[in-house]
Amino acid sequence: MNNTHIELRHLRLLQAVAEAGGLTAAAERLHLTQSAVSHQLKALEDALGLPLVERAARPLGLTAAGRRLLALAHAALPQVDAALRDLAKLKDGDAGELRIAVECHTCYDWLMPAMDSYRDVWPGVELDLLGGFQADPVGLLLDGRADLVITSEAGSRAGVVHAPLFGFEMLALLPPGHPLAAKKWLAPADFADQTLITYPVPEDRLDLVRRVLAPAGIKPPRREAQLTVAILQLVASRRGLAALPAWAVAPYLERGYVVARSIGRHGLWAELYAAVRAADAARAFVADFIDTVRRDSFARLPGIRAAVTPP
């Protein structure tokens, strides 16, 4: 029957479920409750008269019907997005300038590919990347020296909008065979007698220090390194511990170069935001840059989750 009342909402739902590997995780991405996802999926299955997901398996598997519908989602949703982009260009024009300042060192890992995707669909937008460490990157927006800032601070300043990108886990990195590797997760006290290897930034910019160690009154010695590989090399050679975003270390973990542990019972989670001037937030090429980063990151980065603050 073709009169089945199917909507793009259903396709987005199925895609999210398949990608997230579970209803709860899908709900988070869609900024819905788990209940809504469960209800909606059931309603869809009832309407079609076919089960779409294997409820037993974890990660959740799709049935043959589910896979067919997912194939439709993969075919149709990008077409829809492309059309909406074209409409946005018709409305706002398709040219502009986007000078991007980046606060976090490891962000280049995902920012570069995202910029490449973006360039494909907005060839008329001039992309610039501002280098060097900035004391007050959001200030650059108001100075007019940058148009978009990637930051981990949600702090809202007048005239600036912070759009949440995604949440990620900071993992503690240990050399293989380190005594602490026996634990499932590390408590603040575990860092007491360890050297901390970090990027060369002030202490209050390090989530591990500001949110975990400082509150616990622990102040381990620090050693700084400029590059991610250098930090990993120091950890691997047992000069100390480090804390880096999960996505940045995934390739090294696979090779067994270092091992990772969560920080605290539920892990140390941080968020990234794209800050733009309020006046620019509604401009199509700006809004779509943020969308592109979100989509691209979810497709590419392991161990990230939707931002808690809805976009």
Partner DNA sequence: GTTCGATATGAGTGTTGTTCATGTAAACAA
Partner DNA sequence: TTGTTTACATGAACAACACTCATATCGAAC
Among 51-59, 99-107, 236-244, 275-283, which window interacts with DNA (CB under 7 A)? Answer: 51-59
Nearest residue to 173 (alpha-carbon basis) of 253, 234, 243, 225: 243
Q: Among 4, 8, 19, 55, which residue sits at the site for DNA (rule: CB under 7 A)? A: 55
Contact call for residue 6 and DNA (CB under 7 A): no
42 counts as binding DNA under rule CB under 7 A = yes
- CA neighbor of 130 nearest in space, from 150, 160, 113: 150
Under the binding rule (CB under 8 A), the answer on residue 76 touching its own copies is: yes
Which of 1, 2, 49, 58 touches DNA by CB under 7 A?
A: 58
Distances 267 to 37, 109, 112, 120, 264 between C-alpha atoms, Å: 25, 22, 27, 36, 5
Q: Which is nearer to its own copies, 78 or 124 (CB)?
A: 78
> Does residue 288 touch its own copies according to CB under 8 A?
yes
State the first-to-last Cα distance of the chain, in angstroms, to the nearest integer. 37
Query: b/e for 96-106, b at 16 or more Cβ within 10 A?
Result: bebbbbbbbbb
Determine if the peptide bond prior to 59 is cis (ω within 30°). yes
Q: Is there binding between residue 183 and DNA (CB under 7 A)?
A: no
> Residues 25, 100, 160, 232: which binds DNA (CB under 7 A)?
25
280 binds its own copies (CB under 8 A): no
Q: How many residues bind DNA (CB under 7 A)?
A: 22
Query: Are 271 and 154 spatial neighbours (Cβ–Cβ below 8 Å)?
Result: yes
Determine, following the binding rule CB under 7 A, whether residue 32 of this chain makes contact with DNA: yes
Q: Could you tell me the smallest distance in angstroms from the CB atom of residue 11 to its own copies?
A: 9
In the region spanning residues 3 to 62, those forming contacts with its own copies, defined by CB under 8 A, are: 3-4, 6-9, 48-50
Shorter beta-carbon distance to its own copies: residue 18 or 284:
284
Out of 46, 54, 57, 75, the residue judged to bind its own copies by CB under 8 A: 75
Counting contacts by CB under 7 A, is residue 60 touching DNA?
yes
Which position among 55, 91, 145, 238 is part of the footprint of its own copies (CB under 8 A)?
91
The one of DNA, its own copies, none whose footprint includes residue 58, by CB under 5 to 8 A per kind, is DNA
223 contributes a contact to its own copies by CB under 8 A: no
Binding-site ranges for its own copies (CB under 8 A): 1-4, 6-9, 48-50, 64-65, 68-69, 71-72, 75-76, 79-81, 83-88, 90-91, 282, 284, 287-288, 291, 311
Binding-site ranges for DNA (CB under 7 A): 5, 9, 22-25, 31-36, 38-43, 55-56, 58, 60
